[in-house]
Amino acid sequence: MMGTLEGSILTLVVEKANTSIWSINWDIKLFATIYNGVVCSGFAYYISGVVMQDRGPVFVTAFNPLSMVITSMLESSFLVEKLNLGNIIGAIVIVLGLYLVIWGKSKDQKQQGHEPSLNQQENGMKRSIKHSVDVVNSHGKPSSDVEVV
């Protein structure tokens, strides 16, 4: 939303005399905009959801700045844009930060690997209760007509 607002203000300032840029025509520009908005954004949200479900929200937010690095590399390759020293240093900082997040997360998972998760603890408790309960009736003899949940 902020990007739309900022882009609109910038367009008004730069192209104040040219009102034809605001018209929407039935051409490839309209198709490209709709395609980018629907398909590409939907695909990105789907991948983010899958990664969040599998690895957690840390990985989704950690890999988000990597898109700027990829965009910068593709810009210099396909659009023959010049890479500045700031772009290169920024890309290195982003990649190093991503590496540190992944390294810290793997160390965290190794520490948690020794302790079972809450679901594993609950399942283990259910199994141990199910197999270790001996029910005795009022006469002191084992009873088999009681269901253990």
Q: What is the pLDDT of residue 142?
A: 58
Q: What is the pLDDT of residue 137?
A: 55
CA dihedral 78, 79, 83, 89 (to 10 degrees): -60
CA dihedral 65, 57, 54, 106 (to 10 degrees): 80
Residues 6+ apart with CB under 8 A from 148: 129, 130, 133, 135
| CA atoms of 26 and 38, how far apart (whole Å) | 17
CA dihedral 138, 142, 147, 149 (to 10 degrees): 100
Q: Position 99: which residue type?
A: Y
| CA atoms of 8 and 96, how far apart (whole Å) | 35
Q: What are the per-10-residue average pLDDT scores of the chain (149 residues)?
A: 86 85 82 86 88 84 82 85 88 90 84 60 47 52 53
The alpha carbon of 89 is separated from its chain's Cα centroid by a whole number of angstroms, namely 25
Neighbours of 62 (CB within 10 A): 19
Q: What is the pLDDT of residue 132?
A: 44
Q: What is the pLDDT of residue 89?
A: 93
Instruction: Confirm whether pTM is higher than 0.85.
Output: no
- What are the counts of helices (DSSP H) followed by strands (DSSP E) for the chain? 7, 0
